[in-house]
Structure 1
Amino acid sequence: MTMKNITRGGQFLVKETKAEDIFTPEDFSEEQKMMRDSVIEFVDRELWPNKARFEKKDYAFTEEMMRKAGELGLLGVAVPEQYGGLEMGFVSTMLVCDYISGTSGSFSTAFGAHTGIGTLPITLYGTEEQKQKYVPKLASGEWFGAYCLTEPGAGSDANSGKTKAVLSDDGSHYKISGQKMWISNAGFANLFIVFARIEDDKNITGFIVENDPANGISLGEEEHKLGIHSSSTRQVFFNETKVPVENMLSERGNGFKIAMNALNVGRIKLAAACLDAQRRVIGESVKYANERIQFKTPIAKFGAIKQKLAEMATSAYVDESACYRAAKDIEDRIAMRVAEGNSHQEAELKGVEEYAIECSILKVAVSEDVQNTTDEGIQIFGGMGFSADTPMESAWRDARISRIYEGTNEINRMLSVGMLIKKAMKGHVDLLGPAMAVKDELMGIPSFDIPDYSELFAEEKEIIGKLKKAFLMIAGAGVQKFGPELEEHQQILMASADILIEIYMAESAILRTEKNAQRFGEASQEYQIAMAQLYLFNAVEKINSKGKEAIISFTEGDEQRMMLMGLKRYTKYANLPNIVALREKIADKLSAENTYCF
């Protein structure tokens, strides 16, 4: 591992990434494959056959399955060995999160809330005493954790919470009073990570609070929700709950930072938690489409159904490519920091924080893809898809929450662009140089040379480069016009974010497929090549639309004409792909294999 091939967070936009430098699911080690297979076995044995129980608000069953996951060591994958965990790398923790989440949003939520925001704040910010006391119990499943941040008046604006922490007269403990809502795992949690404000501090502070009803802690009734029916979700009330001063998490006023960093990890893990859900929905849809006969023909043979299956499979393949690319970047950055002498805590915190932009991108892209996939799954099943007797209905309802969790998708869109601009201001990513170069290029005469597209993905990679220029052109003009006030122009930010997202996702699929074609032969990747090309075409169309929306919203006259011409130049194909043929190819392969097979 060398410095030159580890790009910093957000640098994908201005620095060419080589196919050999990215990690793909085809790079899983034997240990990782064994871990994946054992998770799939657990899901197929314990969860999938009992899918109906999760729909009947069987909270006790969710808790029972969580204990079984603990016995298998699955709750401690990311936890250091000295605290009873397996201390596996970031890619392995993503892998477990991915495959354990394929059956039920209820179990996926319980697992994610416990292993992520319930345990991680202590492993990353806790004192040695706090970690020794609590983490082994959480890693084994003896105890379960929950995360108390959201309040009736504090959602996306997490730092505006009203919960108070008042120091006792003798200085031995804090008394916490306030109300938290939408708390996952609240019904069976032994420990809460609670955020409260001390006096009139600007920022909130984190506390580790043991759940003891005799200590002023009470719970609301289970919430009635659209989906994730067996995920315990309750309000938690604190009434002068005594918390020893030694249970403050990190320093006073550091709660907002803890919350934001926990969300960064949560965002990429949430993306992973949507992957196997997509694979399983696609698998069920393909089987049904092959079995369902209409007009004496399996509906899988109809073009309208092929279009759906191909687009569903393409988004799953692309999402998987991007998630594991980013996960390995984070793992490498953590390893690099450890080698430089950072503690495990510091290395992991800074490693994930470095790729906060990618975490937000993945959260948005994959959560929207799983929603679309489940929606199309219902459509393929037709009337049966609307019935609770088939798995599509619950999958669609469970998928809906993923666009709200870990910061809404609107917040994450604006964050991705905002964080990129902040990185540029700090000199971590050079956006100014490339943006000025794009401006100069627009003023110059375009080249009329005919490029050589004989190599695999030669044109596609050139298009990716042009799409990056389109983003730099629009974002650069936006920063120039509005300066720091750009964040107030949310619709322009969101359009820019959609361009950024499509670039990262499309590039990830192309690089993964190119890498695998180089080592396994092009013939082995013919369907993956088709998916990468199909996704890129869709991305170009979306970028053209979103780019135009942004440009005509804040420019006029000659500047507008020049930027629209630039957008046209940067979203232009020399050889347009045959989209229908690509979809047919992908869908026919799915039908032949009778499952998601990529």
Structure 2
Amino acid sequence: MATETTEKEILRGGQFLVKETACEDVFTMEDLNEEQRMMRDSTKEFVDRELWAHWERFEKKDYAYTEETMRKAGELGLLGVAVPEKYDGLGMGFVSTMLVCDYISGATGSFSTAFGAHTGIGTMPITLYGNEEQKMKYVPKLATGEWFGAYCLTEPGAGSDANSGKTKAVLSDDGKTYKISGQKMWISNAGFCNLFIVFARIEDDKNITGFIVENDPSNGITLGDEEKKLGIHSSSTRQVFFNDTVVPVENMLSERGNGFKIAMNALNVGRIKLAAACLDAQRRVINEATTYAKERVQFKTPIINFGAIKSKLAIMATNAYADESACYRAAKNIEDRIAMREAAGNTHQEAELKGVEEYAIECSILKVAVSEHVQACSDEGIQIFGGMGFSADTPMESAWRDARIARIYEGTNEINRMLAVGMLVKKAMKGHVDLLGPATAVGEELMGIPSFDTPDYSELFAEEKEIIKKLKKVFLMVAGSAVQKFGPQLEEHQQLLLAASDILIQVYMAESALLRTEKNAKKKGEDSQKTEIAMTQLYLYNAVDIVATKAKESIISFAEGDEQRVMLMGLKRFTKYTNMPNIVALRKQISSDLEENGKYRFDG
């Protein structure tokens, strides 16, 4: 009997740009099964009880409390959601791991960072790259919270250029151990971890190598003082110094020279989970801001009645809705791809590695979009609170500071923007995504005579779907012309890549919101989705503006004369509405929903 996974077409990573996705084929938060809802609810209960109720402790650099709550999370099984049952984990699917990462991260960035560093880059490299002996020895301790992990990649001279690290690993004369020497910085969980994933270079190897290193101060490991940081105050962040630290050869992770690959694949997973970790942070800021706006009276009326406040709340909710839609769409794609590979005979390790790697473009898109939305959300949260928002007595101020690191983690947003476009071009060159055919078709369309017929947009989202198709043409027009003009030197034109990436991001995010709403409107009726429809239309309207601006910037930067004129005319055609939505009315609908319900209610 065919499974759900094989019955529907699962697009490859990046193919969303050139292939149409049916709304029935996307996963939404409304599709969560009973087990997933129970996992979500138990995670929220833990967060409300142990984290949100004590958020002030995290602002006072209470590292001990971070460690204490991490152990409690381990006792509940929350640290081992993604770990196979064989190694004392829960062995749940990728969507469930995203759910836990989402909801456990809402209360405080300090705990969110500790959790992400431990479950992701602290545990996952061993789960996915370790041999059986290594996994049996270390993973159960990490999955249960008996031990905590940390990840030592960044160095003073090796940040975004991760493979340029100077830390050395020297093989002993008897061939039984390596001695590791070097300096690592910005190491999350360093103050209380039991195990490091350390990357070092053997001799003059081109690529670094990964090692599993137990944290033993008597073995040449020393820690710097806790870093003084803008936010995430109770996340232990220290430098780690290795001075002839002896590591058994059997603690090499994967193969010699495979460390850069491990690091990059860990970042792919880390990026989509970082996006998930910014979701509930937005919901909680929206809820706090809504409550305050209903209670705060100025000029004899609650400030939620003012149009300026309504507009802010509407945009905050709209971005959160699009973020949820895109994150869980991609998460289910990854889960389905993993299942397909396992069904084809891949091991769980191989299937998960390749499943996530397939959607590396989407992971970078999500990391950028959601990290910037959570920053904007917390910023507007402060604004709604006014002077009280600037006070450390309310959680708005700490939410804003904690959100700031998300644009730097897991590769800066600038790096991820360029990666998204670069990876898409490479996929096209490998034949995994057909960009040439659609780009050529767009070029021919630009030279043709446009239709002046009035289209029939009577069905729900008929015009919105057409606009998204046209936004995809904008990307193909800009990127196709840029590749043709610059070829392999395209990566040197960073400002162009950044602008093209913003177009790509808006296409994916807007389409994800639309597909989610369309699917639920078909299932539950349009009347039940009035606010969701408003959020979808508002997000797309704003996306069109961003695309138009970025595309114009790109075209002017590399095209001249008739070529520029034709492309700018095409851009105007591709970003034109037939029936412009009433944006003020949409914002009122969204903010009224928040006011009536007293909270953001769209998370399934």
TM-score, with normalisation over the residues of structure 1?
1.00
Matched letter for residue 591 of structure 1: E
Q: Is the Cα–Cα contact under 8 Å of residues 8 and 25 in structure 2 kept in the other structure?
A: no
Contact persistence 2:375–2:400 (CA under 8 A): yes
Q: Which amino acid aligns with 1:217?
A: I
Paired AA for residue 248 in structure 1: M
**Structure 1 pair 343–421 and aligned structure 2 pair: CA distance change class (3 A):** same
Once the 2 structures are TM-superposed, how far is the Cα of residue 560 of structure 1 from its aligned partner? 0.4
Equivalent residue, structure 1, for 2:592: 588
Q: State the shift of 1:3 in Å.
A: 6.8
Q: In 1, Cα distance between the equivalents of 2:554 and 2:65?
A: 49
In structure 1, stretches of 5+ residues that fail to align are none
Counterpart AA for 2:483? V
Deviation for aligned residue 1:342: 0.1
Equivalent residue number for residue 218 of structure 2: 214
Q: Deviations over 1:165-209 (max 9, x none)?
A: 000011000000000000000000100000000000000000000
Equivalent AA in structure 1 for residue 492 of structure 2: E
Please list, as runs of the form range in 1=range in 2, the aligned pairs for 1:398-413 lying within 5 A after superposition: 398-413=402-417
1:195 matched residue in structure 2 = 199
Q: Is 1:171 matched up with 2:172?
A: no
Spell out the pairing of 1:377-456 with structure 2 (5 A cutoff): 377-456=381-460
Give the % identical residues.
82
Among 124, 128, 135, the residue aligned to 1:120: 124
2:370 corresponds, among 359, 366, 380, to 366
Structure 1 residue matching 2:191: 3-state secondary structure? helix
Report the counterpart of residue 329 of structure 1 in structure 2: 333
- Cα deviation, 1:65-116, whole Å, max 9, x if unaligned, reads 0000000000000000100000000000000000000000000000000000
Residue 354 of structure 2 is aligned to residue 350 of structure 1 = yes
The Cα shift of 1:449 comes to 1.8
Choose from 57, 64, 70 the match for 1:66. Answer: 70
**Secondary structure in structure 2 of the residue aligned to 1:119:** helix
Listed one character per residue, the Cα deviations across residues 218-261 of structure 1 (whole Å, up to 9, x for unaligned) are 00000000000000000000000000000000000000000000
Displacement after TM superposition at 1:4 (Å): 5.2
Of 19, 28, 45, which aligns to 1:15?
Answer: 19
**Residue correspondence of structure 1 range 24-423 to structure 2 within 5 A:** 24-423=28-427
Q: 5+ unaligned residues in a row in structure 2: which ranges? A: none
CA distance in 2: counterparts of 1:4 and 1:31, whole angstroms: 23
Following superposition, which runs of at least 4 residues in structure 1 exceed 4 angstroms of deviation?
none
Structure 1 counterpart of 2:29, which letter? P
**Residue identity matched to 2:429:** M
Q: 1:229 and 1:4 mapped to 2: Cα distance?
A: 45
Q: Which residue identity does 1:367 align to in structure 2? A: S
2: CA distance between counterparts of 1:476 and 1:330? 28
Determine if the alignment matches structure 1 residue 560 to structure 2 residue 567. no
SS at match of 1:242: strand
CA–CA distance in structure 2, aligned partners of residues 155 and 73 of structure 1: 33
Shift of 1:2: 2.2
Q: Which amino acid aligns with 1:286?
A: T
Cα distance in 2 for partners of 1:359, 1:49 equals: 32
1:530 & 1:115 partners in 2: Cα distance?
A: 37
- What CA RMSD, in Å, does the superposition of the two structures yield over aligned residues? 0.5
**1:334-382 superposed Cα distances (whole Å, 9 cap, x missing partner):** 0000000000000000000000000000000000000000000000000
Q: Larger deviation: 442-451 or 165-174?
A: 442-451
Which whole-Å CA distance do the structure 1 matches of 2:494 and 2:537 have between them?
Answer: 31
Which amino acid counterpart does residue 333 of structure 2 have in structure 1? Answer: D
Alignment of 1:569-588 (within 5 A): 569-588=573-592
Q: Distance in 1 between matches of 2:559 and 2:492?
A: 16
Q: Which residues in structure 2 correspond to 1:500-539 (within 5 Å)?
A: 500-539=504-543
Quote the offset at 1:543 in angstroms.
Answer: 0.3
CA distance in 2, matches of 1:377, 1:560: 41
